[in-house]
Amino acid sequence: MVNNIFNQSITVTRKINSSKDRLWEFISSPGYLYKSHPFCKENNIISWEKNKHVDELIYLNNLTYIREFILWEDKIGYTLLIGEKNKEKSKVNWKISSNNNDTLLTITVYPYFMAKSPIFVSYLPYKLYIRPKLKSYLKSVIKGIDWYLEKKGIVPRNAFGKHSWFS
């Protein structure tokens, strides 16, 4: 799935103004992205059962991704595959942790973009374009979750700025 010739993962961690339990309750609930994701137009449930979690994320620009959860650890986090239906998928890890009484949320993406390309072709586009774009996106996603949990209201679309891939 992912060629790790160079470190292709992008990680963002943020302190969340919430308890670990409340954060988990929120990010494990069906359709939560609609409430907190600044680029989400719709978050439709395909399956939300004990051992099978699948949903559809429709971005503001109508790009549609399927999220298929492949590992689910109650109150710790999950791993999922995300991408367009019947196309390559990126792997994403969501993890809840704590540090000095702070609740932290970490999202790590292993993008499929250019993963099969030779390093001499993919290195610069990845470092100069893909990595910064994904990092900006992840920061907005986590800010949205924190905003929702703190203000208890739906995050306005493009609340933290537009994103050229998803707005």
DSSP 71-138: EEETTTEEEEEEESTTS--EEEEEEEEEETTEEEEEEEEE--TTTTS-HHHHHHHIIIIIHHHHHHHH
pLDDT tens digits for range 73-122: 999 999 999 999 999 999 999 999 999 899 999 999 998 765 566 666 66
Q: What is the pLDDT of residue 112?
A: 77
CB neighbourhood size of 51 (10 A): 7
pLDDT tens digits for range 28-64: 999 999 999 999 999 999 999 988 999 999 999 999 9
Q: What is the pLDDT of residue 11?
A: 96
pTM exceeds cut of 0.85: yes
Kindly indicate the confidence band of residue 129, based on its pLDDT and cuts at 50, 70 and 90: confident
What are the sequence ranges of the domains in the chain?
Answer: 11-151
Q: What is the pLDDT of residue 74?
A: 95
CA–CA separation, 59 and 106 (whole Å): 21
Q: What is the pLDDT of residue 116?
A: 61
Q: What is the pLDDT of residue 3?
A: 42
Kindly indicate the confidence band of residue 124, based on its pLDDT and cuts at 50, 70 and 90: confident
Q: Label residue 93 exposed, middle or buried (CB < 10 Å: 0-12, 13-18, 19+).
A: middle
Tell me which of 3.40.718.10, 3.30.530.20, 3.40.50.300, 2.60.120.10 is the CATH number of domain 11-151: 3.30.530.20
Q: What is the pLDDT of residue 130?
A: 83
Q: Any idea what DSSP says for residue 26?
A: H
pLDDT tens digits for range 6-23: 457 899 999 999 999 999
Q: What is the pLDDT of residue 126?
A: 76
Q: What is the pLDDT of residue 152?
A: 82
Cα–Cα–Cα angle for 38, 53, 69, nearest 5°?
75
State the angle between helix axes of 20-27 and 131-151 in degrees (0 to 180), rounded to the nearest 10: 110
